[in-house]
Amino acid sequence: MNVHICEVGPRDGLQNAHHLMPTDAKKAWIAALAAAGLREIEVGSFVPPKLIPAMADTAEVVGFAKTIKDLKVVALAPNLKGFQRALDAGAHKVTFPVSASRKHSESNVRMTPEQMVEEVRKCAQFPHPGVEIEGAVSTAFGCTLQGEVPEDDVVRVAVALAEFCDYVCLADTVGYANPAQIKRLFRKVREQIGEKLEAAHLHNTRGLGLANALAAYEEGVRHFDSSLGGLGGCPFAPGASGNVITEDLVFMFEAMGVSTGVDLDKLMVARKLMVSAIPQEPTYGHFALAGVPKGFRAAA
């Protein structure tokens, strides 16, 4: 496998949806995603249910996902309480969103970026044998609340997180990034923290998701977050729309001869399950409309 894809639809996709997906449907969808070859899935977040009702069943969903062989089960947590709940549920990896934008951080987690870094440090010091911790630098490329996010702020947050996180991810939470910016910022951060910088979490708000993913790939990134059908967005960041579309991302890499380990036909089965469970939600994607071109050979 040349590229590793983490499917974030069950968390980032559903948290911003207007309709709730039943728990049994979530489980069937996650099983279908795993059957398509996705080896890492972010299945939910441990946040107050009154804030994001779609995540109220995360502990049960984590428990189910853990029964799927060879699947890394990921959950998001915003604080120590959420981290403890993730550990109790048995998540294999926990992601913490740490915004480089002060306004977004205060809106999203009611903390400044500096306070959030210290919250993650506290979590890293809490016993968590065998559980990976990822620090995701959100709004790294711009913010709908603040506007421009200085690159020095992004580097500073990433360097702080790299002290105690297993991995660091740069996230284009609101889809402001362009390929030149992606290359420049990933290069700057990698110069400071090296291989700790692992993943790109990109949104397709302005149609540049795939272009940005390719730019990150050309900078050496081999781990990508994406969402089936382009579901997603942050409910606390106005204008944040869907993630990079999993099926389009898989097709792009496979067409380039870069193996993702994902079977496109089985991925379409998972997409149908998702659409049938929340038929009112808009979905996106060119591959789903056009299908496989004549003569196409997957790298896998």
Residue 234 among the catalytic residues: yes
Classify residue 62 by burial, with Cβ atoms within 10 Å: 0-12, 13-18, 19+.
buried
The DSSP secondary-structure symbol of 7 reads E
Look at strands 93-99 and 40-45 and give their pairing.
unpaired
Question: Token digits for 279?
Answer: 């038929």
Q: How many angstroms separate the Cα of 281 from the Cα of each of 127, 231, 268, 278? A: 39, 8, 17, 6
Helices (H), 56-143: 58-65, 80-89, 102-109, 113-125
What b-and-e string marks burial along 205-240, b requiring 16 or more CB atoms within 10 Å of the CB? beebbbbbbbbbbebebebbbbbbbbbbbbebbeeb
Alpha carbons 293 and 287: distance in angstroms, whole number: 10
Q: Is 205 helix (H, G, I), strand (E, B) or coil?
A: coil
> Which residue shows structure tokens 């106005």?
238
> Under 8 Å CB-to-CB from 276, ≥6 apart: which residues?
none
Catalytic residue among 6, 123, 143, 234: 234
Alpha carbons 92 and 106: distance in angstroms, whole number: 28
Q: How many angstroms separate the Cα of 65 from the Cα of each of 20, 45, 60? A: 19, 14, 9
The residues assigned a catalytic role are 234
